Amino acid sequence: MCVVDLIPAPYRLLAVGVLLTTLVGGSAASVWKVQGWRYGSRLSEQARLHTETLNQLTQVSAAQQRAEQDKRLALEQRLATSEQTYYRVLSDVQRDQGRLRDRLTTADLRLSVLLDATTSAGNGSMPTTATTGSVVYGPTRAELDPAHAQRIIGVTDDGDRGLIALAACQKYIKVLMAK
């Protein structure tokens, strides 16, 4: 006889139930643990891949930002060079105009205009005598009053400045369009 035969049937069923519950519960817990490990490893792999993707996107974004900053820096340098050229040309023209005004003021230089040869005394032929201080026969000229010469120089100075400013604006637009 066996020890199990001595235990009454209802207790046997209870013992078998407890034993089965313990086995099922223990195996279920171990199944949950194994499944937890699997899911944990999958989640960690997914998290690692997600982190790598974010790092790659960050690197690409940083590279694009650096490229844009380099483009902007190059554009700023080209514009600065263009501006320096503009101011150099403008200052050269202003200096030359100032010298010309000074020479006109000191009577070191006189502005003159050509006169129409058909309105002179002859019909365009050479004068019979050379003018004082000149041995060259040429077209008849008339000297301008220094005040009028100063106004003419002022007008040409304004025109030169306008042309220089226009050229600078055109170059600025070309540099921006080449961007």
Confidence category of residue 166, pLDDT binned at 50, 70, 90: very high
> Residue 13's pLDDT band (boundaries 50, 70, 90)?
confident
Q: What is the pLDDT of residue 63?
A: 96
Flag whether 1 is in a domain. Answer: no
In a domain, 59, yes or no: yes
87 within a domain of the structure (yes/no)? yes
Q: Indicate whether 2 belongs to any domain.
A: no
Cα angle 171, 161, 74; round to 5: 25
Per-residue pLDDT, 1:
58
pLDDT digits 0-9 by tens, 28-61: 667 677 777 888 888 899 999 999 999 999 999 9
How many Å apart are CA 38 and CA 44, to the nearest integer?
A: 10
Higher-confidence residue of 179 and 93: namely 93
133, HSE (Cβ side, Cα atoms, 13 Å) = 0
List, for residues 106-133, the tens digit of each pLDDT value.
777 777 777 776 655 544 455 545 455 5
In a domain, 102, yes or no: yes
Overall domain count for the chain: 1
Q: Strand 112-114 and strand 141-143: pairing? A: antiparallel
Domain residues for the domain of 172 are: 7-178
Q: Is 93 domain-assigned?
A: yes
- Whether 172 maps to a domain, the answer reads yes
CA distance 81 to 75: 10
Coil vs helix vs strand at 143 = strand
| Domain assignment present for 80 | yes
pLDDT at residue 98, as a whole number: 86
